[in-house]
Amino acid sequence: MTDGPLEWLALARGTLDRVALNRRDDGWIAGAWADPRTRVLIVQDGCALVTYEPAPALVLVPPAQAPDGDRWLLGVDEGGAAYFGVAAALPAVEGAEPAGLRQVGALLADRDSGLLTHVVALEHWHSANRFCPRCGTETKVASAGHVRVCPADGSQHFPRVDPAVIMLVTDAADRILLARGPRWPADRRSILAGFVEPGESLEQAVAREVDEEVGLPVRDVRYVGSQPWPLPQSLMLGFTATTDGDAPLRPDPEEILDAAWYTRDELRAAIDAGDLVAPGPLSIAAQLIMRWYGGELPNMPHF
């Protein structure tokens, strides 16, 4: 296995400066909206318009063509152009199709992948958090889309992100543990994952989830990378962990339909035979498995 961090994560490639300090500067925001270099990304139900020739790219419109709606400041590029998101019905654009992160998150270039990830996360948060959790009053958008404020009690509410750990567990023979979750297709396998609980560290969450799901103790829990997963509001935190000995796997039938150890040769053979479908390249799971495998898995889509 290679050491070091994960090198490429589909949804962690954004290139813009988020200029968070400018979000409360109404004069700066108005100036950016008036600048003809500014571009607006329209989002509807987790999708934006994408064109595929000559390469997959988001459809971005100048402010003059943008629909009405709250303007969420997404950032500024190296040339000084600002980017905003607006939630609205997607317009008809010749040659463009609506697409979400699952379809194009790994295909888009770095800037556009980051823009779509950011805007999809904000759209979900705004749509799911319209009312004050303290008093139930409808909140108002502030800070260029990154805060909601209650007009009744003044409380501020920030976008929520749910941390989830995902871990590549190896045994003493450097085999990896792959499991099938409930409701997954029969041939689908991935590594273990779960949400962090209140009052728990990330390392504790890794150990607890592995114990709950397959009944194994782990050691050497090491962080190797993260990517946002706004489907709808997670942050995936990738780890490696090791287990000693050859204690039997005890899958929790509520969470795991079956689990097994794989050598590299066994994984390759299972994929080649059509018996196993590994996670797709959008996921941090695939990148963790490839880091261990030492390269791309068989049958993985190429870009």
* Residue ranges that bind Zn ion, judged by CB under 5 A: 132, 134-135, 137, 150, 152-153
Instruction: Quote the least distance from Cβ 154 to Zn ion, whole Å.
Output: 8
Concatenated DSSP letters for 80-94?
Answer: S-EEEEEESPPPP-T
Residues 167, 242 contacting (CB under 8 angstroms):
no
Residues 122, 77 contacting (CB under 8 angstroms):
no
Nearer of residues 34 and 152 to Zn ion, judged by Cβ: 152
Residues 111, 67 contacting (CB under 8 angstroms):
no
Nearer of residues 153 and 174 to Zn ion, judged by Cβ: 153
The rounded distance, in Å, linking the Cα atoms of 71 and 83 is: 10
Return the closest-CA partner of residue 242 out of 303, 189, 290, 174. Answer: 174
H/E element, 156: strand 156-157
Instruction: Quote the least distance from Cβ 163 to Zn ion, whole Å.
Output: 26
Instruction: Quote the least distance from Cβ 94 to Zn ion, whole Å.
Output: 45
Nearer of residues 139 and 226 to Zn ion, judged by Cβ: 139
Instruction: Quote the least distance from Cβ 149 to Zn ion, whole Å.
Output: 9
Nearer of residues 154 and 294 to Zn ion, judged by Cβ: 154
Nearer of residues 150 and 236 to Zn ion, judged by Cβ: 150
The rounded distance, in Å, linking the Cα atoms of 144 and 149 is: 12
The rounded distance, in Å, linking the Cα atoms of 220 and 240 is: 8
Instruction: Quote the least distance from Cβ 157 to Zn ion, whole Å.
Output: 9
